[in-house]
Amino acid sequence: MINELIKLIRNQEEELKKLLELLETQYKMIMGKDVFGLEGLVDKINECGKKIAKIEVERRKLIGGKSVSEIINSSDNKELKEAYRNIRIIMEKTTQQKDTNDILLKQQIMFTNKMLNIMNPSREIKTYNSYGNLSR
């Protein structure tokens, strides 16, 4: 069981590395404002996510109701501990890159919306409400 778990963790590590590369490519495209490139990258990221989820399901079938950290702490296998440590590091990097990309995309969408509002303002008459603020 330990050897199978090591194999699954290594497979998941490879897929996570691919996902991290795709997210770094996405970051470069966001910074370069390559909208069409981003659109093409979405399918690749989704496919990579599906592969990772499939490996995760296999791992859960293998270990049952136990958590991976319990198995690793109870095991004396150095290879298993090293593989788990590596996958945790890659997961952290992947999560951080994904969050960075999300924030940048939201920031650019807000900027675009503000620019559109400046170029094409609302035609309705603004009035003050009972609190003294402009109603929209």
In a domain, 125, yes or no: no
Q: Tell me the residue type at 110.
A: M
Rounded CA-CA distance 49/65 in Å is: 23
In a domain, 132, yes or no: no
Quote the pLDDT of residue 21.
97
Q: Which of 100, 110, 84, 79 is nearest to 24 (CA)?
A: 100
In a domain, 107, yes or no: yes
Quote the pLDDT of residue 108.
94
Q: Is the pLDDT of residue 123 over 90?
A: no
Specify the higher pLDDT residue, 85 or 128.
85
Paired with 27 in beta bridges are none
Q: Is 63 exposed, middle or buried (0-12, 13-18, 19+ CB in 10 A)?
A: middle
Rounded CA-CA distance 77/65 in Å is: 20
Question: Which range of residues forms the domain containing residue 97?
Answer: 2-119
In a domain, 62, yes or no: yes
- The enclosing domain of 114 has a CATH number of 1.20.58
Q: How far is CA 14 from the centre of its chain?
A: 16
In a domain, 111, yes or no: yes
In a domain, 56, yes or no: yes
Rounded CA-CA distance 83/4 in Å is: 12
Q: Is the pLDDT of residue 136 over 70?
A: no
Percent of the chain with pLDDT over 90: 69
Quote the pLDDT of residue 59.
92
Quote the number of domains for the chain. Answer: 1
Local structure of 134: helix, strand or coil:
strand
The tens digit of pLDDT for each residue in 13-59 reads 999 999 999 999 999 999 999 989 999 999 999 999 999 999 999 99
In a domain, 101, yes or no: yes
Q: How far is CA 12 from the centre of its chain?
A: 15
In a domain, 127, yes or no: no
CA dihedral 109, 94, 57, 62 (to 10 degrees): -170
